[in-house]
Amino acid sequence: MPTFNRRLSCAVITATMLFPVAGMAQQEQPGPNQPQVQQPYRHHKGRGKHHRRGMGKMAQRLNLNDQQKQQFQQIRQQSKQQALAIRNDNSLTDADKKQKLQALHKQNREQMVGVLTPEQKEQLKQMREERRKNRSERNPA
Q: What is the 3-class SS of 49-111, one letter each residue? A: HHHHHHHHHHHHHHCCCHHHHHHHHHHHHHHHHHHHHHHCCCCCCHHHHHHHHHHHHHHHHHH
- pLDDT (tens digit, 9 = 90+) per residue, 95-128? 999 999 999 999 999 999 999 999 999 999 999 8
pLDDT tens digits, one per residue of 34-64: 555 555 545 555 555 555 555 678 778 888 8
- Give me the mean pLDDT over the 25-32 stretch: 52
**What's the pLDDT at 49?**
52
> Which residues, in sequence order, are CB contacts of 39 under 8 Å at separation 6+?
none
